A = this chain, B = another copy of it.
Amino acid sequence: MTLNGEQYASDIFQNGVGQWCHDLATELWPINRSLTGPGLRQTLERLGAEIPSLEVFEVPSGTQAFDWNVPDEWVLRRAYIEDDKGNRIVDTMSSNLHVMGYSEPVDAWMDLEELETHLYSMTDQPDAIPYVTSYYKRRWGFCLSQTARDQLLPGQYHVVVDADLGPGVLNYAEIILPGETTEEVFLSTYVCHPSMANNELSGPVVTIALAKWLSSLPTRKYTYRIVFVPETIGSIVYLSRNLEAMKANIKAGFNITCVGDNRCYSFLPSRNGATIADSVAKHVLKHTDQNYAVYSWLDRGSDERQYCSPGVDLPVATIMRSKYGKYPEYHTSLDDLENVVTPSGLEGGFTALQRAIFIIENDFVPLVTTLGEPQLGKRGLYPDISVKGPANDSRALINMISYCDGTRSLLEISDTIELPFWVLFEMMKPLAAEGLIKRI
């Protein structure tokens, strides 16, 4: 039995994986991502610099994917509002969030009353810029803080959305890391949100870090399929092109999102709720933070909506830090890399997913080779004197052995005796070396 993983992590990320992820997120922050367009391509190229085997695909606008069609490509150059004195009221130079995603081009003068019908702000978070999109209905709009909006005076305003919205392509990227078997572990994250940190930059930076770690392993039991897609339409397009292979090969998968803040851990199950991905995720989170939040399938809201849809039914669960929709900064300009997402938050997200992968790589069904308990004392694995006292480490050892009956996986045994898989995996090593345990 070999240990695939974990110990390699620290070697490959200088200053630690959390700082590495945070640095990369800082670099990606200014890029104006959307469902399509140059910002999306620029993001995928930057990620490809970390993993040369990352391949970028493009799909023409209008292509059908299941019940959907690829939308037109949106190329935003700049958007702003000026008053009649030439003051810039809002400007995408200061934040990509200031323009509604997929705004159609406009260049017009109008009075405040008309302008108001195109403005979006939040009275309950008056200092934050909200994130608003209108992908499938032609509109234009600007997003700004309620505080800034309240200062607008009656008068004429010049609104400019300098953009193209027309036929082009949608892009996504894929990394395949071959393993000893064609069975796959699937990792998916999305790359269509501008300038927000937990939802979404934490997702692609932790995913590319996991890809680097997996690439560095001398062996992998499973093949890894790792994709970076625009949310919803991207996963639908990807599924429509790869469904047969995915259904045939994927053993477990994770949708990677909201893995960057340091406030809590969260679990969202697959639709099935009892896949390997679910078991592994719950095990990892229980032993990472016993107060982790458990959500239901009804709380879902990301690409698992597609991956677990009827007829697709992939075993995809979600490990998060603070879940989308459940932290106050969600979908606003407050979801940033200073106050929300931190190196330690990212490291926690990375480690939880790494542990999940470690379990999937290393789980097996052990069988003790003796009838009755093995005599551990003669092998130095059990106290050679019996004195009354509290339970010692050998207690966990004999508990583990007692369940090695060839019907339970090591993960199931870990859950039964309520210790982490990675602790039991270490405890297995001397037993295997003594020939006391074999794999079924």
A contact residues vs B (CB 8 Å cutoff) = 65-68, 101, 120, 122, 130-137, 139, 232, 235-236, 239-240, 243, 271, 297-298, 300, 305-306, 308-313, 330-332, 367-368, 370-375, 377-378, 384-388, 398-399, 402-406, 417
Contact = CB atoms under 8 A, between A and B. Distances in A.
Contacts of A240: 371-372
A370 B306 CA distance: 11
A134 B384 CA distance: 6
A368 B312 CA distance: 12
B371 A66 contact: yes
A406 B133 CA distance: 34
B387 A137 contact: no
Contacts of A398: 305
A132 to B, nearest CB: 5
A298 B402 CA distance: 9
Nearest to A382: B136
Contact of A371 (B122, B312, B374, B402): B312
Q: How many copies does the complex hold?
A: 3
Nearest to A137: B384
Contacts of A134: 384-386
A310 B367 contact: yes
Contacts of A371: 66-67, 239-240, 243, 309-312
28 contacts: A67-B373, A67-B374, A68-B375, A120-B387, A122-B388, A130-B388, A133-B386, A134-B384, A136-B378, A136-B384, A137-B377, A137-B384, A139-B385, A235-B372, A236-B373, A239-B371, A240-B371, A240-B372, A271-B403, A298-B417, A305-B402, A306-B372, A309-B368, A310-B368, A310-B371, A310-B403, A312-B371, A330-B388
Contacts of A312: 371-372
Nearest to A398: B305
Which has the most chain B C-beta neighbours within 10 Å: A372, A384, A404, A417? A372
B406 A310 contact: yes
Contacts of A405: 310-311, 313
A236 B134 CA distance: 67
B399 A310 contact: no
Given A131-B388, A402-B297, A306 B139 contact: no
Contacts of A122: 388
A66 B306 contact: no
B404 A310 contact: yes
Contacts of A377: 136-137
A235 B122 CA distance: 66
A172 to B, nearest CB: 15
A139 to B, nearest CB: 7
A231 to B, nearest CB: 10
A388 B331 contact: yes
A163 to B, nearest CB: 17
A198 to B, nearest CB: 14
B372 A402 contact: no
B386 A132 contact: yes
A415 B168 CA distance: 44
Which 8 residue pairs spanning A and B have beta carbons closest together?
A310-B405, A137-B384, A67-B370, A331-B388, A66-B372, A236-B372, A306-B372, A67-B374
Nearest to A69: B375
Given A133-B385, A308-B402, A309-B371, 16 more contacts: A65-B372, A66-B372, A67-B373, A67-B374, A67-B375, A132-B385, A136-B375, A137-B385, A239-B371, A297-B402, A309-B372, A310-B371, A310-B402, A310-B406, A312-B372, A331-B388
A118 to B, nearest CB: 12
A377 B69 CA distance: 12
A340 to B, nearest CB: 15
A309 B136 contact: no
Given A371-B311, A372-B312, A402 B332 contact: no
A373 B305 contact: yes
Contacts of A370: 66-67
Nearest to A237: B372
